[in-house]
Amino acid sequence: MITEHDLAEAIAECEGQRNPSTNTCLKLAAFYTIRDNMFPKKEDIPFYSMQSMPMTDDKVKYESKTEFGQVVADMDIDELMPIMDELMTTLKVLVPKLYDGVMRKLSPDY
């Protein structure tokens, strides 16, 4: 079982690289995601919900203070979904447990 300390060390190692590669950035993003989901801070719960993301006219209507939320706000769903599909494929390879957790949230039958 991964501990918060293990994640902190992995994050520090990635952040300490002078010229990080794409692979290092992907790992860092995965480590932050794992940390934030496995060890959330009390003030971060709940930060957002799927109810805050209604879709109309094939556009994502999403209000969030996160960098991701601001980027996808009013984005065309046909542009967003291939990117999210690629992200999920990457998660499946790099962090299968996180991928499974997301899939369980999206589909109760998973």
Does residue 101 form part of some domain? no
28 falls within a domain:
yes
Q: What is the total count of domains within the chain?
A: 1
The answer to whether position 17 is within a domain reads yes
Region 88-97: mean pLDDT is 90
Beta carbons within 10 angstroms of residue 102's beta carbon: 18
Does any domain span residue 22? yes
Buried b (16+ CB within 10 A) or exposed e, 69-82: beebeeeeeeebee
Strand ranges (DSSP E) for the chain? 55-56, 59-60
Residue 17: the pLDDT is: 86
Residue 105 lies in a domain: no
Question: Tokens 């599909």 appear where?
Answer: 85
pLDDT band at 98; cut points 50, 70, 90? very high
What CA–CA distances, in Å, run from 65 to 8, 77, 85?
A: 24, 20, 23
53 lies in a domain?
no
pLDDT, position 53: 53
The domain of 35 spans 1-45
Residue 41 lies in a domain: yes
